[in-house]
Structure 1
Amino acid sequence: MSDSIKHECGIAMVRLLKPLSYYQEKYGTPLYGFNKLFLLMEKQHNRGQDGAGIGAVKLNVPAGKPFMARERSTKSNALSQIFGEQLEKYNKMVKDGIIHPEFPSTAKDNFDYCAELLIGHLRYGTSGTNHDKTLCHPFFRKSTWPSRNLMLVGNFNITNADALNKKLVERGTHPIFSSDTQSIMEEICYHLDIEHSEIYRKLRDEGLGGEDVLRVMAERLNPVDIVRKAALDWDGGYTIAGLLGNGDAFVLRDRNGIRPCFYLQNDELIAFASERVALMTIFDETAEDIKELAPGHVFVIKGDGSVRDEEYVSAGEKKSCSFERIYFSRGNDPEIYKERKALGAALVPQIIKSVGNDFSKSVFSYIPNTAEMAYYGMMHELRVQRRKDVKDEILKIVNSGKTITGEDLDKLILDNWPRGEKVVHKDIKLRTFISSEKDRMQMASHVYDITYDVVRPEDALVCLDDSIVRGTTLRQQILRILSRINPRKIVIVSTAPQIRYPDCYGIDMSELGKFIAFQAAVELCKESGNKELLLEVYQQCCAQADKDPKDMKNYVKRIYDCFTTEQISKKIAELVYPPNVSWKGELETVFLSIEDLHKAVKSSSGDWFFSGDYPTPGGYKVLNRAYINYFEHKEGRSY
């Protein structure tokens, strides 16, 4: 993706089902769970680089000994820092004779993360400052009662956190307003406390005391009921995992399956992750061995290792985020790899039209690095189409009774064969130590480097990108540097449709006025003498601002409905054309259609950022606020 946007986080959880001695005997280490947690997080590091956190719960720990631990960091190398520091502590205790690895009990007694239950989180911040460690997961509510300790991680955004906080205040509680994670935490803890108190009163009436109370309390506590009550009013996309101090664990997914969630279950362990391929790689399993948690379900692992997979909220229409397949998830997942190739292939008819079906004067490339797989699909389909054309031409010559010469073959095949080149390279990461905006933009133009002398002045240069959000990087960096090689035409091809609407379910793109497609539609409105429509839409948004989100409509569609996709694409090309360059060639932008997106990516139909059709009422509320903010010239998130 040429534009940098931050997005949904990554989670990982490992629950060992055997005694620690089993893993020492079979795998040669009592830190089997700890090591697997690190690898699961490392294989998902693409999902969060603003911070990381881990947590652990030890089972059957005697009174007086710690049984839960947590570490968090917002450093640039947060993941390696956290695990590296913990391993240093472990190795020092081994060296000092405190821990004897061949006796796992010594490791469990002395090392926080020699535990049966471990959890991890990779953060891409969508709220607060990215240097604030208190916003890193796991969030942790502590208590002297094991069952009332809760550690929580999530990949989510809740659109109605303000309403949830208001409800907490009305109950007489004093929540801390820091993020939607805190709102979720407080809500779960509220119902956890109620259930805990009810069970305790019954146990007291039954005459139980001492350790029997803790044991029976752990048996009777029902995380499914707690989650069902807590999530009653949640609006958003989420995958949330929680650990209780009694050894219970739960993972739940939103009713529309917006955020991803996969798990592996065998006789040794149960592991969860945001990406299927991470589980496949780390545990050497096939795709068939990895299951997807159903929308609206919560998977509970009790402290004794028993499991329950139940519906906690009625499932809605599945609307998994299509951006996961286009861009965010790692492309070595077999399904995602095929889908991304299909996205590139689906664009070929438009590409052929753009270059006039003249491959002899065209060069095909991609903008690093996540568009590479779609590029392979595009090149394959271009060659398929070219082979078809060659076959038709050969048959035409043969049927006419003429003899095919070597010159004919050179002209048909070699002189007009799709040519791929690595034209753009990501060179350096820009350091923002320069204060001048003008100088900073000049520095930014050198983030990308280019291969010279592979594109001729008579060539059309086709560059594949996996999405165009704001167009800023295109205008200020990529097109500026592409123009140096002076092609006759540059075609920027997006494997995603035009991004027209905000996201509020995990991707940090909620400012409507910054979307290049929206800017293009607004400019077209003004140029066509229909500027009053912008005011009418504002008035309609204001009129429904205080309504229940369930009753809100998408009035922003009225702006887009005035123009064809081609008209908006043409205007986008005008808006991103690099200023103050000597190049005077033609620029065209091409976008995948929503219809072709669904043909290529059948597993994830969530397309609200393209279509404006949100899966939850909160989406319409966010869109409504985003347009009001745009019209009133207010910056910042719309939720």
Structure 2
Amino acid sequence: MSDKVTHECGVALVRLLKPLSYYQEKYGNPLWGFTKLFLLMEKQHNRGQDGAGVACVKLGMPAGEPFMFRERSVEPEPLNKVFKSLLAQYDQQVQAGTVHPEFPETVKRGFSFGGELLMGHLRYGTSGGYSMLSCHPYFRRSPWPTRNLALCGNFNLTNTTELNASLTAMGQHPIFATDTQAILEKIGFSLDEAHQELYRQLRAEGLPGDAISQRISRDLDLGRVFTRSAEGWDGGYTLCGLIGNGDAFIARDPLGIRPCFYFQNDEVVAFASERAPLMTVFDLEAPQVSELAPGHVMVVKHDGSLSQTQFAAPQPRAECSFERIYFSRGNDIDIYEERKSLGARLLPQVIAAIDHDWERSVFSCIPNTAEVAYYGLMSALRERRRSEVKAAILAAHRSGALDDVLLDELILSNWPRSEKVVSKDIKLRTFIGQETLRNQLASHVYDITYGSVNPGDTLVCVDDSIVRGTTLRKSILRILQRLHPRKIVIVSTAPQIRYPDCYGIDMSQLGKFIAFEAAVELIKERGMTELLREVYDLCRAEVSGGEPARTNHVKKIYSPFSAEEISAKVAQLVSPPPNGWGGQIEVIFQTVENLRAAVPNHTGDWYFTGNYPTPGGYRVVNQAYLNFYEKTEARAY
């Protein structure tokens, strides 16, 4: 993706079901679980590069010894920093003789992450910024093991203000920082209540203190705790939590917006945000990896037993389609095929854009995530060209006109030509939040292969999505002009992004979407500016009304225009100064119908269609328009 879109965060959890000595004997590594956690996070590194954090719980530690640990970093390359720091600690302890790898009990006692329960998080900064205060896992401490809580997640909630208000109403003094803090305190409150209920009951039975602690640990019902906590949440989430006694939970939102997968055998239970990392790290086939059902929380007790609880009523599934278009790695076979299909389904629009001129057309892609869709488009182009050649050969044969010259013209001179035209030649942090600095960097991220396009060719470049058009306008199209094609066609495998997201992707400022900018420009050009005020009044009434929002009034901004009209205006808006180049620029977007055909099982497409799965989404889209109209940069949630 050439534009900045904040990535989804990634989670990983590993629960060893055997003592550390088992893994030392079988695999020669008492840190087998720790290594698996690192690999799961490394294989999901695409999901977060602003921060990384890990947590560990050691089972059965004697009283007085630490049992719960956390390490985080927001420095450059945070994942490497976290694990290098921990392994350096381990090596120092081995050299000092306090830890002996051949004796796993010394590893558990001496190394902070020599435990059986491990959790990791990869973060892309959204509302919480980029400081350590916003880096997961969050930690809630207590001298009671069953009241200690470490929490991380891939999520956004739309009603954090209401959640904080409910905490205040309970008598708490929450810090209004992030939705993570609000969730931590909600779960922590329910955890405290469950602990106190058990404690009073067991004390009334006359049990001694150590027996009470053991019984609380045994009887603590995390499924019930989470069900109490999650009542009233509006958003998309996958949450992982560790309790100090060794219990763990993993929960997924009722709509399935955020992904979560898991694997279990007699040695380990492991969870991750994507299926492919589990397959790679544990050497699995796809059917061995299961998907956590939406609206369910999986609990792993300290004794290793697993249970699932449905914490919310079933709802129509609305998995985020952006996971398939862009966020998840393409080495999952289903995602790979879907992305190829997204590229292939652009075929009719692309052929029309090149005016069937195969001989003078060059096809390429904007690296790196558009590559698979590009393969799908090229495959479709070649299949179409083969059918045309076959028909031409048969017609020539029937007419007696078939000869070597005709065959050369049909096959050799008019075949789809692919080139690596655009390159990402350096690693720059193009997701840096500061707008001015990011734009300066973005203009140098991409470079071209000079001479790969002949003057007079049509150059077709595939991108997986176009959000703001900033990088197209400030970098990519400027450098593509240097090749002097007669026409540049930018092809997006995603439809026009028209509406904000509020369930994980940090796309909340409506005025920054290039499709919205195009629609507003068309409104102004055609003397329809009263529509802007009309929509403002409708949005204000919707947001300020007492009932939950249910109508997306921003749809009225787009309704006077066809998708083709908006695409044409987008092409004008992203076109840089010609600088002596007199060619044409065209922008093509995927249709929503083709998206649904290519990605049939992930129906969450509110950023394209404006059809939100929760009331919070409708409130956010209307608030986003109010912010645009009032010229405020505030986030809509």
TM-score (norm 1): 0.97
Q: Is the 8 A contact 2:465 2:492 kept in 1?
A: yes
Distance in structure 1 (CA, Å) of the matches to 2:429 and 2:240:
36
Question: How far 1:446 sits from its partner (Å)?
Answer: 2.8
Q: Which residue identity is paired with 2:116?
A: E
Q: Does residue 235 of the first structure (1) align with residue 234 of the second (2)?
A: yes
Q: Is the 8 A contact 1:549 1:617 kept in 2?
A: no
Question: How far 1:444 sits from its partner (Å)?
Answer: 4.3
Taking structure 1 as reference, are residues 287 and 191 closer, same or farther at Cα in structure 2, changes over 3 Å only? same
Residue equivalent to 2:631: 633
Q: Which residue identity is paired with 1:98?
A: T
Match of 2:484 among 483, 486, 490: 486
Residue equivalent to 1:185: 184
Q: Which residue identity is paired with 1:157?
A: N
Q: Which residue identity is paired with 1:269?
A: V
1:434-462 per-position Cα deviation (integer Å, ceiling 9, x unaligned): xx999986764332111111211221000
Residue equivalent to 1:145: 144
| Structure 1: gaps (5+ residues) | none
Residue equivalent to 1:529: 527
Distance in structure 1 (CA, Å) of the matches to 2:148 and 2:33:
21
1:58-114 per-position Cα deviation (integer Å, ceiling 9, x unaligned): 111110010000011100111111111111111111112111111111110111101
Q: Which residue identity is paired with 2:287?
A: E
Question: How far 1:213 sits from its partner (Å)?
Answer: 1.0
How many residue pairs are counted as aligned between the two chains?
Answer: 634
Taking structure 1 as reference, are residues 158 and 530 closer, same or farther at Cα in structure 2, changes over 3 Å only? same
Question: How far 1:552 sits from its partner (Å)?
Answer: 3.1
Residue equivalent to 1:385: 384
Q: Does residue 129 of the first structure (1) align with residue 139 of the second (2)?
A: no
Distance in structure 2 (CA, Å) of the matches to 1:608 and 1:440:
27
Q: Does residue 449 of the first structure (1) align with residue 444 of the second (2)?
A: no
1:441-497 per-position Cα deviation (integer Å, ceiling 9, x unaligned): 676433211111121122100000000000010001000000011100000000000
Taking structure 1 as reference, are residues 211 and 512 closer, same or farther at Cα in structure 2, changes over 3 Å only? same
Match of 1:618 among 616, 619, 627: 616
Aligned-residue CA RMSD (Å)? 1.5
Distance in structure 2 (CA, Å) of the matches to 1:134 and 1:199:
33
Q: Is the 8 A contact 2:549 2:619 kept in 1?
A: no
Match of 1:598 among 596, 599, 611: 596
Q: Which residue identity is paired with 2:384?
A: Q
Distance in structure 2 (CA, Å) of the matches to 1:219 and 1:257:
30
Larger mean CA deviation between 208-217 and 352-361 belongs to: 208-217
Question: How far 1:550 sits from its partner (Å)?
Answer: 3.0
Residue equivalent to 1:501: 499
Taking structure 1 as reference, are residues 247 and 441 closer, same or farther at Cα in structure 2, changes over 3 Å only? closer
The 5-angstrom pairing of residues 26-65 of structure 1 reads: 26-65=26-65
SS in 2 for 1:122: strand
SS in 2 for 1:634: coil
Q: Which residue identity is paired with 1:564?
A: S
Distance in structure 2 (CA, Å) of the matches to 1:143 and 1:438:
44
Residue equivalent to 1:5: 5
SS in 2 for 1:416: coil
Distance in structure 1 (CA, Å) of the matches to 2:302 and 2:471:
50
Larger mean CA deviation between 29-38 and 439-448 belongs to: 439-448
Q: Is the 8 A contact 2:549 2:616 kept in 1?
A: no
Question: How far 1:357 sits from its partner (Å)?
Answer: 1.0
The 5-angstrom pairing of residues 331-480 of structure 1 reads: 331-400=330-399, 402-429=400-427, 444-480=442-478
Q: Is the 8 A contact 2:7 2:505 kept in 1?
A: yes
Residue equivalent to 1:552: 550
Residue equivalent to 1:24: 24
Q: Which residue identity is paired with 1:6?
A: T
Question: How far 1:129 sits from its partner (Å)?
Answer: 2.5
Distance in structure 2 (CA, Å) of the matches to 1:207 and 1:569:
74
SS in 2 for 1:544: helix
Question: How far 1:584 sits from its partner (Å)?
Answer: 1.5
Distance in structure 2 (CA, Å) of the matches to 1:94 and 1:217:
36
Residue equivalent to 1:89: 89
SS in 1 for 2:65: coil
SS in 2 for 1:413: helix
Distance in structure 1 (CA, Å) of the matches to 2:464 and 2:547:
32
Distance in structure 1 (CA, Å) of the matches to 2:550 and 2:611:
12
Q: Is the 8 A contact 2:99 2:106 kept in 1?
A: yes
Q: Which residue identity is paired with 1:379?
A: M
Taking structure 1 as reference, are residues 608 and 26 closer, same or farther at Cα in structure 2, changes over 3 Å only? same
Q: Is the 8 A contact 2:365 2:371 kept in 1?
A: yes
Q: Which residue identity is paired with 1:532?
A: E
Match of 1:577 among 564, 575, 578: 575
Residue equivalent to 1:267: 266
Larger mean CA deviation between 378-387 and 308-317 belongs to: 308-317
Distance in structure 1 (CA, Å) of the matches to 2:437 and 2:504:
33
Residue equivalent to 2:155: 156
Q: Is the 8 A contact 1:345 1:381 kept in 2?
A: yes
Distance in structure 2 (CA, Å) of the matches to 1:359 and 1:95:
66
Distance in structure 2 (CA, Å) of the matches to 1:439 and 1:322:
30
Taking structure 1 as reference, are residues 177 and 291 closer, same or farther at Cα in structure 2, changes over 3 Å only? same
Q: Is the 8 A contact 2:156 2:503 kept in 1?
A: yes
Residue equivalent to 1:114: 114
Distance in structure 1 (CA, Å) of the matches to 2:319 and 2:191:
29
Larger mean CA deviation between 438-447 and 357-366 belongs to: 438-447
Distance in structure 2 (CA, Å) of the matches to 1:138 and 1:340:
32
Q: Is the 8 A contact 2:493 2:590 kept in 1?
A: yes
Q: Is the 8 A contact 2:543 2:549 kept in 1?
A: no
Residue equivalent to 2:201: 202
Distance in structure 2 (CA, Å) of the matches to 1:549 and 1:498:
30
Question: How far 1:427 sits from its partner (Å)?
Answer: 2.0
Q: Is the 8 A contact 2:542 2:619 kept in 1?
A: no
Q: Is the 8 A contact 1:187 1:230 kept in 2?
A: yes
Residue equivalent to 1:77: 77
Question: How far 1:117 sits from its partner (Å)?
Answer: 0.2
Taking structure 1 as reference, are residues 442 and 137 closer, same or farther at Cα in structure 2, changes over 3 Å only? closer
Q: Is the 8 A contact 1:52 1:123 kept in 2?
A: yes
Q: Is the 8 A contact 1:512 1:518 kept in 2?
A: yes
Question: How far 1:565 sits from its partner (Å)?
Answer: 0.4
SS in 1 for 2:152: strand
Residue equivalent to 1:295: 294
Q: Is the 8 A contact 1:158 1:237 kept in 2?
A: yes
Question: How far 1:618 sits from its partner (Å)?
Answer: 0.5
Distance in structure 2 (CA, Å) of the matches to 1:225 and 1:437:
44
Q: Is the 8 A contact 2:520 2:557 kept in 1?
A: yes
1:543-592 per-position Cα deviation (integer Å, ceiling 9, x unaligned): 12123563431000011111000000000000001125221211100000
Residue equivalent to 1:319: 318
Q: Is the 8 A contact 1:549 1:621 kept in 2?
A: no
Residue equivalent to 2:213: 214
Distance in structure 2 (CA, Å) of the matches to 1:322 and 1:30:
40
TM-score (norm 2): 0.98
1:189-213 per-position Cα deviation (integer Å, ceiling 9, x unaligned): 1111111101000100111113211
Taking structure 1 as reference, are residues 24 and 517 closer, same or farther at Cα in structure 2, changes over 3 Å only? same
Residue equivalent to 1:66: 66
Question: How far 1:309 sits from its partner (Å)?
Answer: 1.4
SS in 1 for 2:294: coil
Distance in structure 2 (CA, Å) of the matches to 1:408 and 1:634:
63
Q: Which residue identity is paired with 1:420?
A: S
Distance in structure 2 (CA, Å) of the matches to 1:177 and 1:4:
27
| Structure 2: gaps (5+ residues) | none
Distance in structure 2 (CA, Å) of the matches to 1:27 and 1:68:
25
SS in 2 for 1:202: helix
Q: Which residue identity is paired with 1:346?
A: R
Residue equivalent to 2:584: 586
Residue equivalent to 1:609: 607
1:35-74 per-position Cα deviation (integer Å, ceiling 9, x unaligned): 1101110111110011000000011111001000001110
